[in-house]
Amino acid sequence: MRFGGQRRSRNVEDRRAQGGRGGAVGGISGVALLAVLAIGYFTGIDVTPFLQGLDQGGAPGETRELSAEEEQAGVWVSQVLGTTEDVWAERFRTELGASYAPPVLVLYAGVTQSPCGGASGATGPFYCPGDSKIYLDTEFFATMARQLGAPGEIAAAYVIAHEVAHHVQDELGILSKANAARARMSQTDSNAVSVRIELQADCLAGVWAESVNSLLKPGDIEQAINAARQIGDDMLQRRAGQVPQPHTFSHGTSAQRVRWFTRGYEQGRMDSCDTFGTDRL
């Protein structure tokens, strides 16, 4: 992506100075810590409680200085978030005749808390409707590149756009309605609804990508599509050494995620992302 002077969002809450990204966490080296996070991500096991039980390398209330790399990542994330604010403010105005209230993005290092529970590298980035905030440890971008085979700025930007899309769903009342229905369902049926939620977010991320086309470089969309492919439920389960089990899928297959992101990018409209009104995902 071509960034240089883009507006930085002010809706960023940076907690990284409160986290322990130092050489060891509770006696565990940085390499071993990443291995623990990868195990949690690949297997679907939330290791946040384990991480919260470890000394994070500083006394309670102690802060640390961010590295130059972390500072640069924070600037970049705020610029990507700024583009989503501009895109969705315009889309809500022209397509819905409504105003858009953007989310806050929380940057953290290691672990933090949210109304939706603990956040860590094991949970990955997520949107919490309880406080309308997105939680992101920028180290996840390294995990995407090294562990998931999804490198590149556009792949990282796609993750942010996907989580912002959940906020868009929340603004439209889609998320609360879908989650209320899920609460009354069996786990298998709930997972099926979750897949539709996630694929719609992929499609809306595609709409965002179409809207910032002037910032994209040759090959960017291919990288974004590769990122969608690498984080399909079937792909992740195979990578974890498991046989894919469709009834456990909660985000959609690689093919589905690619299809809906591409649909949003090619059609460029919010109304092209109705994953709840189709029999073909």
Per-residue pLDDT of the chain (281 residues; tens, 9 = 90+): 776 678 899 999 999 998 655 433 333 444 444 444 444 444 344 444 444 444 444 444 578 899 898 899 999 999 999 999 999 999 999 999 999 999 999 999 988 999 999 888 677 899 999 999 999 998 888 887 887 787 788 889 999 999 999 999 999 999 999 999 999 999 999 999 999 999 999 999 999 999 999 999 999 999 999 999 999 999 999 988 999 999 999 999 999 999 999 999 999 999 999 999 999 99
- 3 inside domain: no
- 5 inside domain: no
Distance CA 88, CA 184 (A): 31
- 1 inside domain: no
Give the predicted TM-score (pTM) of the model. Answer: 0.85
250 phi and psi angles, rounded to 5 deg: -125, -10
Quote the number of domains for the chain. 1
Q: What is the DSSP letter of 96?
A: I
Helix (H) or strand (E) holding 35: helix 30-43
Q: With beta carbons less than 8 A apart as the criterion, state whether 25 and 33 touch.
A: yes
- 4 inside domain: no
Domain range for 177: 12-277
- 92 inside domain: yes
Instruction: Give the CATH number of the domain where residue 160 resides.
Output: 3.40.390
Reduced to 3 states, what is the DSSP secondary structure of residue 141? helix
